[in-house]
Structure 1
Amino acid sequence: MEDLNNIAEEIFDSCIENIENENIEDEVVIGLYYISKYIEEGHTLSVNSHNQLNKIILLLNKKSHENLKLINNIRTFILKYILDIIENKKSLNKIKEEFFKTYYDFNDFQNIIDNKDFILLLFPQEKMSEYLECLNAEFKKDREFWDKTFIEKQQVIFKFHYITMLIYEKKRENFQKMFEYLFKIFNMAISKEEDELIFYLYTPLYYSNNIVSTDFDDYLRFNNLVEKKFEYYIKTSFIKRYQIMPNTNKGKKGKVKIAFVPERLIEYSVYKVLYTLLNYLKNLEVEIITFDLNFKELGGSLTEKQNELVLLGHNLIDCNKKFATNNSVFYSTVEKALKLREYIISNEIDILIGMSGRPEYNFLFTTRTAPLQVYWSHGNSEYHIDGIDKKISHFDQRTKNNEYQIFHLPINLKDYQVEIDYSTVQTIRDIYPKNSFILGYIGRLLKIEDDDYLDCIASIMKENPNTIFLACGSGNQDTIRTKVNNLGIGDRFFFTGHIDPNIYAYVIDLFLASFVNGGAALDEYRNKGRPYVSLHSKDWFKNYNKINFIKVYNENNKGYLKKDLYSKEDISSIKKNNYLNIANRHSSFFYTLGHVKNIQDYIKVSKLLINDKELCHKIVEERLFILNYRNQEFDFLETLNN
């Protein structure tokens, strides 16, 4: 106890000095926090320490009422929270209530982010649900919310959602709790016809549900709860109020005008795919305009990415600069959407291609903005509204019917052949048990929290005791670690954190894709000529099984196979059984052998590839051969015209 009071007195002295100098240092906050933990455990302070504490509280109360520098710093109120716990005169609920009353009204968002580590001291990741409950409690007390300006309402939602996203890891159960809170506000906004708030709430709702989910039922749930309700609101209320007329233009003769509408341009898979497509379209007889929504709530677009598209020779419109009322994170989303629609119509766009995740897409589709309106899925196959004329994607969609047309995205394989230092690869491999066959996954860990996936991995590893698994990427490790420990593979299952995919493509021997979708990480891996196993939908196999191997082989169709890989025994087996290998009865080609229809086949094919390097080589060789061929058969415009 003497040591505690000696330390406390030293920290209290520093705290008094900090407050006098109007500069509260990190070390002081952390020191006081650990003293508060001792107090919560039942320890007490000496009389001298108590006297110092009283002096600090009086000084802080005086200074924080008269000094703007302290008033405008959330750290001041974090300090007060900790001091109240040390003083131990109020209940913890009362202390939290007082803190969140201030926090709810505090609108220096950059200051909050600068102090997020201290917020996490008070409310760590495991208390995120409590943090949300306290914020929601303050919202319920805010009797003036519906009388605020739309900017003031946006500020409340911004703190509730976007600031929380920047503080906490995206754990599904907590963000779905956030979805429930925000959805109630969304419903109230619809009943009150609060156009700005309805539009603004859309993306926080989308992120709270879809971004933290790997379950297609959750995507469908969002579509039914939010998307369709928003669509109905636009049809029955918004269109009438703003007197919006549908664009009845049926298209014109001459060069076709295609408009792409990305949510923002940053370094992620959606941008990479868009850039690749636009790069190939520059050589075709079409006019391309990219309308960059550049939504600022999550930082907006990167100027360098905008410039990259401009250098392709296409027209780029920064919607935030051209149509928003200001360049802030707070602006009229409605005005921006209306002006964007007018501009698209006035420029006689023939084909409008949108995605999901922003209210502008639903608005543009539902109000009939272009003769042909196309939804381009990057993973959310459960996006269903009436204004969509065609659905396309560059990869297989997990849908129950054939509503998507798939186009083959041109792939420059040279972009994936990055020069690497193989000694670095070996150094990393040497970290793990000697002579291990390394299974792995690269991407968001959220995608492999799934019980079915981890059960499958456990089965594969138990049948192949020489294997280990590397989970590469960011996300919540604790849930997965608990599950793999319970499955008996915890000692062979490793988390790497964020990695260089160019290096780890050669560290991992076999990529085992999640059951959601492989994403850009899988594409990057296999485009380097590396083997993988991936679960595909029944519809994909239904379509692919229409392709007759013998016919393709005899006609030498390079779009489906590389003939010299097939031995006489291979061809005889396919003729007899209609499959190449019994491990995957749904595949007649080397290229598709790693594409499996169910979990049982996933396990069988994984075991097969773990023990057959030559077969792995044939699979990747045929894939690279076919991709090179398909680059010459670019079919995007044909997909749109069908």
Structure 2
Amino acid sequence: MNNEQLPIQTQLSNLIQQDFINVASSYSDNNRLNRDYVLTLIQDVSLLKKYKVSYLHNSDFNETMDILKNQLLNSLYPYDIAFVITIDYLQNSENVDFLQKFFVEIFLKTPKELFIDIFFIFNILCGSVKELYGYFLEYIFNNKFLILDENIQIDCLYKAWNLSLQVYHDNEASQFAYNELKHLFQNALNYQKTEVAFWLYYTPLHYFNAGTHRNKHEANQRFQVEIEKPLEKYIKNHIIPKYKITPNKKKVKDSSKKKVAFVMQRIIRHSTVKVLYYLMESLMKEKQDKYEFILYDLAFPESGGSDVVFIKEFEKLGLKYVNLHEKIFNNKSETYSLLEKCIKSREILIEDNIDILIGLHTRVEYMFFYLTRTAPKQIYWYHNSNDYYDVEGIDIRIAHGSTPNNFKFHVFNLLSNYNNDNDKNLEKEIARIKNSFSKNVIVLGSIGRLIKLDNNEYLETIFEIMEKRLNTVYLVCGAGDSTNIKKQVEKRGLSSRFFFIGFVDPKIYIKVIDIYLNTFPESSGESLNEFISKGGVPVILLPKEHPAMQEIFRNEWDKKYERIFAFSKKDYINLAVNLIDNNVIREKLSEENKNRLLQTSLSVKTFESFIDAINK
């Protein structure tokens, strides 16, 4: 240490000692630690590394430090644990990297159910989410991670990555984490660390890749090559032989009643599950004796499990419901063996004599079911998500809407019954939000993951529309990283007219938004359909490769601007501006949408269409 560092060392040591006095005094008065004082202490101790100085011990504090540390030594409260780690470092660990000691011990000592509080501490130690993820990788998920006890590995994976998704939305940090974690994933396969590979597969690898990438198709293609195919090979070459798993040899008999299993990741009010509900509603209305429909719920608790109220709505349809997670583990612990869940879920499905298995997602359980031949017929139901999902054992692919061109899909007709929504209970909230804007304001907006908005092509189009019509605002409804969008909005001088709402209840905001400006190149999902079903008027840019592009162009182009489909960005802008200016046209198109929905509801035969699709 040079002479220039001595004043810094003295100042920092004095500051840390004052921080400790504040913590100790507060504890003496309230019999608990003051969170803000603890955070300040941790922050100041971390500065020792920054300025490359050590702490100057003051013997006057040793006894008080020991007393307070010993009183809190067995506490499970995150701030108590963080305080004890920090004091222990000051007393004994001058030659140890404070951040390394802090991260390692905080991961090992803090209970998983309380760990989310630790992210508030992480925030003061790291300048960015990317820096935090860098510390995770450097101190926890390094070369030594794979030699840890398996339960500790699962616990750390859950704490770091599942919980970070609940706290942060940062696309750059997520892409960084994906590129680093895929090496850990590859090593886990090489060293046959199955639980590590399985826990990494979907969260975080799948979400950090596709959920934060501006080009979903590129992301899915990359994921297939780098993650899915290696994992598929691992299950085939290692898991199946090791556990002596043999394919289900059952044959489907046309004369017998067929059991159809819908395997859902969890039952929540998400667009995918709501679509499933609308299908079940249609299927269960039919009086027939050829099919039995069963809903199997993986109910993964690491993301909060399933919605009990929504489950009851499924059961009211007369549908048999099976909670696979509860049946296997009989608890709601956030951490568990994914391999055990895969094997035992498969056993349950086989014991239940399932004829047709329909997977509605791409978690590792589905890959396991397909590869091990769990049912005589195995189906992947595509929900406009992973268009490159291709696992050995998928017999047919079905879809209820537009489909990609890289696989053959059997499409069935499904009319979503949004009329079940209890709008009366929402009217006050809808009115409150609408009344927060001036009467002459036209509310533009979209609903969905923010990554769909986060591209210059779409944003520039929206900016041009709003600059042409100053009586507009835009509601950004959905979760995700808003950093880049806000920068672009601010740069354009439109910050006062953009409102970032966050995750919303679509039933409310489809009534708040006057004109739904559908995102492109990646379209909105079920919220757009729900908006149209309620008579809403959107503007939709049809991609050139859309299968119905030519037909719609022939039927719609001569309508000038009395239509909702646009055929170019310039056309999109002109349509939007015309709808903003002309309330009469908006009302006319609204009635047309309602009538079209009514006519469709009279002609759609969901049951016949679905049965035909799954029997191809």
Cα gap change, 1:425/1:208 in structure 2, threshold over 3 Å: closer, same or farther? closer
Aligned to 2:259: 257
Q: Distance in 2 between matches of 1:184 and 1:12?
A: 41
Q: Distance in 2 between matches of 1:103 and 1:304?
A: 36
Superposed, 1:44-443 pairs within 5 Å as 59-61=64-66, 63-64=68-69, 67-70=72-75, 72-79=76-83, 94-123=97-126, 126-139=127-140, 143=144, 145-166=145-166, 168-204=167-203, 205-216=205-216, 217-253=218-254, 254-284=256-286, 285=288, 286-324=291-329, 327-380=332-385, 381-397=387-403, 399-401=404-406, 403-416=408-421, 418-419=423-424, 428-429=433-434, 431-432=436-437, 435-443=440-448
Q: Distance in 2 between matches of 1:239 and 1:82?
A: 47
Cα gap change, 1:422/1:230 in structure 2, threshold over 3 Å: closer, same or farther? closer
* Amino acid of the structure 2 residue aligned with 1:133: G
Cα gap change, 1:55/1:317 in structure 2, threshold over 3 Å: closer, same or farther? farther
Within the candidate set 556, 573, 581, 1:603 is matched to 573
Superposed, 1:442-461 pairs within 5 Å as 442-461=447-466
Q: Distance in 2 between matches of 1:299 and 1:626?
A: 38
- Displacement, 1:481? 1.4
- Displacement, 1:546? 5.2
1:360-394 Cα offsets, whole Å, 9 max, x none, are 11111122222322211223123222322222233
1:257-314 Cα offsets, whole Å, 9 max, x none, are 2110110112322222222211221123320111111112212223333333222222
Superposed, 1:441-590 pairs within 5 Å as 441-499=446-504, 501-515=506-520, 516-540=522-546, 542-543=547-548, 545=550, 579-582=557-560
Q: Distance in 2 between matches of 1:338 and 1:421?
A: 44
Q: Distance in 1 between matches of 2:192 and 2:330?
A: 21
- Displacement, 1:430? 5.1
Cα gap change, 1:408/1:15 in structure 2, threshold over 3 Å: closer, same or farther? same
- Displacement, 1:69? 3.1
Cα gap change, 1:401/1:64 in structure 2, threshold over 3 Å: closer, same or farther? same
Cα gap change, 1:208/1:414 in structure 2, threshold over 3 Å: closer, same or farther? same
Q: Distance in 1 between matches of 2:263 and 2:228?
A: 18
Aligned to 1:637: 611
1:560-583 Cα offsets, whole Å, 9 max, x none, are xxxxxxxxxxxxxx5xxx733346
Q: TM-score, normalised by structure 1?
A: 0.81
Q: Distance in 2 between matches of 1:269 and 1:58?
A: 59
- The alignment partner of 1:580 has SS state of helix
8 Å CA contact 1:57, 1:83 repeated in 2? no
- The alignment partner of 1:440 has SS state of strand
Aligned to 1:24: 33
Q: Distance in 1 between matches of 2:13 and 2:110?
A: 37
Q: Distance in 2 between matches of 1:57 and 1:113?
A: 31
Cα gap change, 1:442/1:54 in structure 2, threshold over 3 Å: closer, same or farther? farther
1:605-624 Cα offsets, whole Å, 9 max, x none, are 22232233333333332332
* Amino acid of the structure 2 residue aligned with 1:476: D
- The alignment partner of 1:392 has SS state of strand
- Displacement, 1:530? 0.9
8 Å CA contact 2:112, 2:155 repeated in 1? no
* Amino acid of the structure 1 residue aligned with 2:225: N
Within the candidate set 19, 23, 47, 1:15 is matched to 23
Q: Distance in 2 between matches of 1:86 and 1:481?
A: 42
8 Å CA contact 1:447, 1:514 repeated in 2? yes
* Amino acid of the structure 1 residue aligned with 2:611: L
8 Å CA contact 1:109, 1:163 repeated in 2? no
Cα gap change, 1:260/1:165 in structure 2, threshold over 3 Å: closer, same or farther? same
Q: Distance in 1 between matches of 2:564 and 2:539?
A: 4
* Amino acid of the structure 1 residue aligned with 2:320: N
1:78-130 Cα offsets, whole Å, 9 max, x none, are 3368779999x979x9332221131232241123224443333333xx52222
Q: Distance in 2 between matches of 1:318 and 1:463?
A: 53
- Displacement, 1:136? 1.3
Gap runs ≥5 in structure 1 = 43-49, 550-573, 584-589
Q: Distance in 2 between matches of 1:187 and 1:208?
A: 16
* Amino acid of the structure 2 residue aligned with 1:579: W
8 Å CA contact 1:32, 1:83 repeated in 2? no
- The alignment partner of 1:244 has SS state of coil
Q: TM-score, normalised by structure 2?
A: 0.84
- Displacement, 1:396? 2.2
- Displacement, 1:10? 8.7
* Amino acid of the structure 2 residue aligned with 1:512: L
8 Å CA contact 2:251, 2:376 repeated in 1? yes
Cα gap change, 1:18/1:526 in structure 2, threshold over 3 Å: closer, same or farther? same
Aligned to 1:567: none
8 Å CA contact 1:16, 1:56 repeated in 2? no
Gap runs ≥5 in structure 2 = 1-11
8 Å CA contact 2:446, 2:524 repeated in 1? no
Cα gap change, 1:612/1:385 in structure 2, threshold over 3 Å: closer, same or farther? farther
8 Å CA contact 1:536, 1:597 repeated in 2? yes
8 Å CA contact 1:460, 1:606 repeated in 2? yes
Cα gap change, 1:127/1:234 in structure 2, threshold over 3 Å: closer, same or farther? same
Cα gap change, 1:240/1:38 in structure 2, threshold over 3 Å: closer, same or farther? closer
Superposed, 1:618-637 pairs within 5 Å as 618-632=588-602, 633=604, 634=606, 635-637=609-611
1:375-416 Cα offsets, whole Å, 9 max, x none, are 11223123222322222233324x245633333323334224
1:10-54 Cα offsets, whole Å, 9 max, x none, are 975552145567621234335657878999999xxxxxxx99x87
How many residue pairs end up in the alignment?
Answer: 589
8 Å CA contact 1:206, 1:357 repeated in 2? no
8 Å CA contact 2:380, 2:396 repeated in 1? yes
8 Å CA contact 2:240, 2:372 repeated in 1? yes
Q: Distance in 2 between matches of 1:445 and 1:619?
A: 27
8 Å CA contact 2:211, 2:451 repeated in 1? no
8 Å CA contact 1:36, 1:83 repeated in 2? no
8 Å CA contact 1:373, 1:389 repeated in 2? yes
* Amino acid of the structure 2 residue aligned with 1:201: L
Q: Distance in 2 between matches of 1:275 and 1:548?
A: 33
